[in-house]
Structure 1
Amino acid sequence: MTRKCLRVLNTLFILVYGIACTKVFFKGTNINFGLVQYRNAVDISKQKTMSHCMILCKRNIKCMTFFYNAKTGECVLHSKTFKYNQPELNSGNWKMYLFEVADTRCVSNASGFLYYRSLDLCYNFNAEHYIDYTGHFLPTCASYGAELLRIESQDRQTYVEHILEGRPTTRVAIQGRSESPGFVWTLFDGSPLSYTNWRLPGPLTGDYYVQIFEEDQWTEQRNFNVDKDAIFLCEIR
């Protein structure tokens, strides 16, 4: 007897190896129709259908988006959403899909949170705004039940550089601050920074917050500066 699996709304129950149905929640929209990018792909292969391409994405924890060409069967997996830059090639017959796994803390909603499984990172992008950590960046993240993005490892730093490629402004607010009396750099919960990427010769001493700046290196930034803009990322931990 042939077993069948059903699609209900955006939930696809896929028959895997003819044995069991795997529940996969995904958002599939025709984003950038006709465009694709091979550079920095986490995997490139030939697959019979879009569903097979999606299964491949599900098995690869670095996959967040996938491109599928129904004419050629090409399947291209990527670890980002191309927020700030378009895929590079226009070759027709391509559709791009955002992959989401059901039952995580990070199912997409109006706040646009995305889940990168490889780093267990649930984050969103927020619009460019003049620099205001305590008056805008932190309250905005808190309104989502989130906090300003932490970068606690080289893997996180590398990934953040990847997803920020092509951003419209150089400055990116991230978590970390130095305050009196000791002027020790810590996360907002008071724990020391376990990883840093300071631009040489290092940060100034004083009351400052952390920002990503030129060449994705870190520099200090005052709490408030109406003459300078930054984008910021929030994360749900």
Structure 2
Amino acid sequence: MTPVLEFDRVGFAYERQPILSGISLSICAGECTALVGPNGNGKSTLARLALGLIQPTHGVIRLFGTQVHRFRHWSLIGYVPQQVAVAAALPISVEEVVRSGLAGQLRPLRRASSTQEERIEHVMDLMGLQQLRRRRFSQLSGGQQQRALISRSLVTTPRLLFLDEPTSGVDTEARTALRDSLEHLVSIEGLAVVYISHDPAGFEGLARRVLEVRDGHVRPAPGPPQVSSALGAVA
């Protein structure tokens, strides 16, 4: 099986200051990988490299077998950054936030197709947003807002999803709801998830692998692996 994401001896430096060095990493479909480590050690930089937002100093990055600088099928990639600005003053509903994920696929004045409408409904069901669809986004709790933003990234049916600190500032109930939804996406729909977090409670029982990013390198995190029974059989 071709990995959805490959890092082959990748390094990155910012203004000649090394940030990442010799990163080799492979992620396959139906796999959740958690990236942990102290702030400032390169977790978010690794995601930005994979998304083609910045270029490696050396090494090769591939998405679905294609080098990232030649990759064009960006609807296959979902990304929820650590902080997403949605103007609180705008009277935008939860459903409108979710639909905005299709903006790159729809021409002006074109309506979503029946397949896209079905996907919107499926994602909102999965993330527990149906009862909130008419609610103004600014009126939601932090956990509800995060689920809406993740839903927005899922409406294009991505095969690889990056989540940067998705449980930051949310309560235990919200973490559990998010984890349950992600487990369905990974184990049932075969989505590959890269979960960047300093919060072990957020990905406990979900991540097949926990990798630590520290001092420019990626290595297995110390301690027992966080593997759930639902994902333990994934190759």
Question: What TM-score results when the alignment is normalised by the length of structure 2?
Answer: 0.27
Q: Which structure is higher in strand share?
A: 1
Q: What TM-score does the superposition give when structure 1 sets the normalisation length?
A: 0.27
